[in-house]
Structure 1
Amino acid sequence: MHSHPRGHLVYAARGILSVHTDRGTSIVPANRVAWTPAGFTHYHRTHGHTDMRIVFLPASLARHVPTHPAVFTASGLVREILLTLTDSRDDDRVAGAHERAARARLRRVLVDELREAPEQPLILPEPHDDRLQAIARMLRENPADTTSLAEFGRKIGAGARTLSRLFHDELGMTFYEWRTQLRIYHALVLLADGHDTTHVAHACGWANPSGFIAAFADIIGTTPGRYRAAHPAK
């Protein structure tokens, strides 16, 4: 866990990243970019063969993006700017005045693009209530667990109505929405490790691949097969 005096964007040119803060986990597949504001304690994890790129923003630009951790779609232009700004052959510390000015312009265009990009629902909120944490632990250990909220409640000594209210009030989503987000995160990790769609569907709790494909496409914006083909494991 660490923090920075400047906010930063993190992008996976290949593979899967996750950014963890006390607010939750941001899932960052290769068609997304994550923003972590200055001062937020966090850590990164990589899954599969991952090429991680980081761009720090000066405060003058950071004020134009959210004050909370966020995930955005990485358009083709955003991707190319991120790759250019993180090219090891072109470092601000050794660049001349012309190169530094050009990179500053690229950062401004990058922020303009992100201001127009909608935030993506790829942040898995972190529960703080002890009862919700107990459920989260069980599901992280076994994302394929199909236990109902009422059954979880009997295990931990809480009513389904109470747990449902806690999910809504604390995490801003239903138990089933949160579990689906968790499963999609786990699915991205398995796809990055080279597993096929059928294996991933069953490992993440779907009874058949079609249900998994629909849920994956709804959240990620493409099917698991297309995502895996575009981002092959190594």
Structure 2
Amino acid sequence: MTEIRHEPVAPTRTQWLAPGSDIDAHRHDDHQIVYAARGVLAVTTGAGTWIAPANRAIWVPAGTVHAHRAHGALQLHLVGLDVTENPLGLDAPAVLTVEPLLRELILAHTGAPGHDDSPERRRLRAVLLDRLAASPQQPVQLPSPSDPRLRHICDTLYADPADRRTLAALSREAGASERTLSRLFTAELGMTFPQWRTQLRLYQALVLLAEDTPVTTVAHRCGWASASAFIDVFRRAYGHTPGRHLPRGR
């Protein structure tokens, strides 16, 4: 069994990760905010994967075993918070909206020397915590199934997000009825089959966009009937068009 690294103090710093690189599974005794100012970040725990483009951050509670993966060149900003500092009152990972002021606060805080305990830095941190408390949560998560029949369906779609078969058609391969699988999606993953598939496609779309894949190609590979349909769903999920995520501004 792989040993989980234990780093008692969650660091506050800025670092770059190359495309496709990972930070292996570990845990902190502190809470942590993880924000990618560039690229797309995926944080995986035992409960699933949380995805954060550049207008989202991920809240990782103290004690949570988690791993990071970079999609595209990742400019990573880490904010460690003492276990007593929980402005959102959350005990599970969550994706948070990063509005412009919060973004600048995170960049300024992680860019300052970690040992600096000046009055200016304390004031900056206090405002950052205030803005975090007001940050809405976003449903940008791919939960992990435990039932083997459900896992078969999810793995099939992971391999090919453009697979357009219905749950009834996929259920014949999984050895369970459509009704059983539909119930499992709701019970285990907290969402319906169409909702989970849309989340998967959006996740894969973010990964492809971070790799500088054209929008039309992303729409096709992820199963949308047209680029316009993809853009509409993407805009409703993230508040802007997918072209904003192309590294070279295609």
**Normalising to structure 1: TM-score of the pair?**
0.92
Match of 1:39 among 56, 59, 63: 63
Q: Secondary structure at the match of 2:205?
A: helix
**1:167 has 2:167 as partner:** no
Task: Give the Cα separation in 2 of the matches to 1:137 and 1:18.
Answer: 17
More strand by share: 2
Change (3 A) 1:45 1:4: same
- Once the two structures are aligned, what percentage of the paired residues are identical? 47
Match of 1:23 among 47, 72, 82: 47
2:245 corresponding residue in structure 1: 228
1:50 corresponding residue in structure 2: 74
Gap regions ≥5 residues in structure 2 = 1-24
**1:212 has 2:230 as partner:** yes
**1:110 has 2:128 as partner:** yes
Runs of 4+ in 1 over 4 A off after TM superposition: none
Partner deviation per Cα, 1:41-92 (whole Å, 9 max, x = no partner) = 11000111110110001123226441110111111111111111111xx313
Partner deviation per Cα, 1:79-107 (whole Å, 9 max, x = no partner) = 111111111xx3132x3x42xx3323322
Q: Which moved more, 1:180-189 or 1:132-141?
A: 132-141
The structure, 1 or 2, with the larger RCO (C-alpha pairs under 8 Å, 6+ apart) is 1
Q: Which amino acid aligns with 2:219?
A: A
Q: Which moved more, 1:59-68 or 1:32-41?
A: 59-68
**Normalising to structure 2: TM-score of the pair?**
0.86
Alpha-carbon RMSD: 1.6
Q: Secondary structure at the match of 1:199?
A: helix
Partner deviation per Cα, 1:96-125 (whole Å, 9 max, x = no partner) = x42xx3323322222211221210111111
Task: Give the Cα separation in 1 of the matches to 2:161 and 2:34.
Answer: 26
1:84 corresponding residue in structure 2: 108
Q: Which amino acid aligns with 2:85?
A: L
Q: Which amino acid aligns with 1:92?
A: G
Q: Which moved more, 1:9-18 or 1:125-134?
A: 125-134
**1:195 has 2:213 as partner:** yes
Q: Which moved more, 1:107-116 or 1:158-167?
A: 107-116
Task: Give the Cα separation in 1 of the matches to 2:89 and 2:126.
Answer: 11
Q: Secondary structure at the match of 1:194?
A: coil
Task: Give the Cα separation in 2 of the matches to 1:153 and 1:64.
Answer: 39
- Judge conservation of contact 2:185–2:191 (CA < 8 Å) in 1: yes
The number of equivalent residue pairs is 226
Q: Secondary structure at the match of 1:145?
A: coil
- Judge conservation of contact 1:49–1:233 (CA < 8 Å) in 2: no
Q: Secondary structure at the match of 1:59?
A: coil
Q: Which amino acid aligns with 1:148?
A: T
- Judge conservation of contact 1:8–1:55 (CA < 8 Å) in 2: yes
More helix by share: 1
Q: Which amino acid aligns with 1:91?
A: P
* Correspondence 1:129-168 to 2 at 5 A: 129-168=147-186
Q: Secondary structure at the match of 1:110?
A: helix
